[in-house]
């Protein structure tokens, strides 16, 4: 295989912003097709793309190597299963599935079919998180005592996307935003021992969760993950405290904003945050307080698709494994159970 023929299961915001631009310019991929029931939105931007009117029609096309399942969360299991059964490699948007049972079934199916299965946890390649990860791994904070991650916004209105506001499995901010924060916490600290969560709904007329406060317990520290739709003045996105000091960083990755402006991900200065968004590192060195602003790492979602290409063409490790994404779902399940029973849930 020299070029990976790739098809998208939809061309909404996810397909238009997060997948098509990277697949289109990557030398190892060919943006081959898209599933749109009635519209022809993808064709307007990518004239050579093939439009399918049903999932079944798309899966029957033997030229397709890779399917991107970027549809509503509740469909992830069914669409991924059908794609794997059709002999296609699969990239699934986060969250992987709505429960860990489904996730395990898909992992087993991919193994039986000898196919690649990965989940698009692209926020690992945000500029802000890459910087936090570098600081933590350098050990300059000493032993971590506490970390707090936020994914907040001020957005009291309900989404125009009805599937996001209709009560169903896999719906709500814990799945949509929490999956990002949970994955980042796991990347830094591994699987926790237990979890405690408070979940709630504050928007007027909202029927789905729009607030979460999840506490992860490790042997020697805590990690707090929070999100609210009523934060008008942004808090630091990342606050990491250790025995030698603290690191504070804003959420300032510019990739999504640039993609929404139709800026291609191969342009100059791609993923470089403004100088004003440098994180603050405050440590004690030889008994003296030391404050410094840390240069932010460059954001790069293309690294994900670089990894997918290497995995499919050269059988290299996947950039995000389905097993890693399943751990995220296990914590989401524990959070719902904790909120329901008002107790700490062992993992």
C-alpha distances out from residue 96 to 55, 170, 266, 311, 330, Å: 19, 10, 28, 19, 11
pLDDT of residue 1: 64
**Cα(57)–Cα(230) distance, rounded to whole angstroms?**
43
- 180-217 confidence digits (pLDDT tens): 999 999 999 999 999 999 999 999 999 999 999 999 99
Q: Is the pLDDT of residue 285 over 90?
A: no
**Number of C-beta neighbours around residue 114 at 10 A:** 7
Give the containing element (helix H, strand E) for 34: strand 29-35
Q: What is the pTM of this model?
A: 0.96
| Residue 166 lies inside a defined structural domain of this protein | yes
In this prediction, residue 143 has a pLDDT band, given cuts at 50, 70 and 90, of very high
- The per-residue pLDDT of the chain, averaged, comes to 97
Same domain, 200 and 342: yes
Among 120, 151, 175, the domain-final residue is 120
**Cα(310)–Cα(301) distance, rounded to whole angstroms?**
15
Same domain, 159 and 34: no
Same domain, 273 and 218: yes
The CATH number assigned to the domain holding 199 equals 3.30.360.10
How many folded domains does the chain comprise? 2
**Residue corresponding to tokens 């999956």:** 179
- Domain of residue 211 covers 123-299+331-346
**Number of C-beta neighbours around residue 97 at 10 A:** 26
Task: State the DSSP string of 146-197.
Answer: EEEEE---B--SPPS-HHHHS--TT-SHHHHTHHHHHHHHHHHH---SEEEE
Same domain, 75 and 43: yes
In this prediction, residue 2 has a pLDDT band, given cuts at 50, 70 and 90, of confident
Same domain, 224 and 260: yes
Half-sphere exposure of 346 (CA within 13 A, CB side): 0
pLDDT of residue 287: 86
Residues 6+ apart with CB under 8 A from 269: none
Same domain, 194 and 338: yes
- Pick from 13-17, 108-112, 141-145, 163-167: least confident: 163-167
Contact 164, 176 (CB under 8 A): yes
- 286-338 confidence digits (pLDDT tens): 889 999 999 999 999 999 999 999 999 999 999 999 999 999 999 999 999 99
| Residue 128 lies inside a defined structural domain of this protein | yes
| Residue 66 lies inside a defined structural domain of this protein | yes
- Give the rounded percent of residues in the chain with a pLDDT score beyond 90: 96
**Cα(186)–Cα(214) distance, rounded to whole angstroms?**
13
Same domain, 112 and 173: no
Same domain, 89 and 151: no
The CATH number assigned to the domain holding 98 equals 3.40.50.720
| Residue 82 lies inside a defined structural domain of this protein | yes
| Residue 158 lies inside a defined structural domain of this protein | yes
Same domain, 64 and 177: no
Residues in the chain, overall count: 347
pLDDT of residue 146: 98
**Cα(330)–Cα(191) distance, rounded to whole angstroms?**
10
Mean pLDDT value across residues 148-171: 92
Same domain, 115 and 142: no
Lay out the sheet containing 117-120: strands in order across. 50-52, 29-35, 4-8, 66-69, 89-93, 117-120
Q: Is the pLDDT of residue 5 over 80?
A: yes
Mean pLDDT value across residues 171-176: 96
Q: Is the pLDDT of residue 136 over 90?
A: yes
């Amino acid at each position: 295989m020299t070029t990976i023929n790739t098809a998208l299961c939809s061309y909404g915001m996810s397909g238009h912003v997060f997948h098509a631009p990277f697949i289109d310019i990557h030398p190892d991929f060919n943006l081959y097709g898209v599933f749109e029931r009635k519209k022809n939105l993808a064709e307007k931007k990518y004239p050579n793309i093939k439009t399918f009117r049903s999932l079944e029609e798309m899966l029957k096309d033997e030229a397709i190597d890779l399917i991107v399942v970027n549809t509503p969360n509740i469909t992830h299991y069914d669409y991924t299963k059908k794609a794997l059964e059709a002999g296609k490699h699969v990239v699934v948007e986060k969250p992987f599935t709505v429960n860990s049972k489904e996730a395990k079934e898909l992992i087993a199916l991919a193994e039986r079919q000898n196919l690649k299965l990965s989940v698009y946890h692209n926020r690992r390649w945000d500029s802000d998180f890459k910087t936090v990860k570098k600081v933590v791994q350098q050990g300059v904070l000493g032993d971590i005592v506490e970390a707090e991650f936020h994914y907040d916004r001020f957005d009291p209105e309900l989404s125009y996307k009805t599937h996001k506001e209709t009560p169903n499995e896999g719906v709500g901010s814990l799945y949509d935003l929490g999956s990002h924060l949970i994955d980042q916490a796991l990347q830094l600290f591994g699987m926790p021992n237990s979890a405690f969560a408070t979940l709630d709904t504050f928007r007027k007329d909202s029927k789905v969760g729009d607030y979460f406060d999840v506490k992860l317990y490790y042997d020697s520290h805590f990690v707090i993950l929070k999100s609210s739709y009523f934060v008008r003045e942004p808090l630091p996105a990342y606050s990491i405290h250790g025995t030698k000091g603290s690191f504070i960083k804003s959420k300032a990755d510019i990739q999504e904003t640039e993609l929404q402006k139709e800026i291609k991900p191969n342009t100059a200065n791609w993923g470089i945050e403004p100088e004003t968004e440098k994180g603050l590192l405050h440590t004690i060195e030889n008994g003296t307080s030391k404050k410094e602003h840390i240069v932010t790492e460059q954001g790069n979602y293309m690294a994900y698709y670089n990894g997918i290409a290497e995995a499919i063409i050269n059988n290299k490790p996947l950039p995000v494994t389905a097993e890693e994404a399943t751990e995220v779902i296990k914590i989401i399940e524990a959070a719902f159970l904790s909120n329901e029973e008002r107790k700490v849930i062992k993992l």
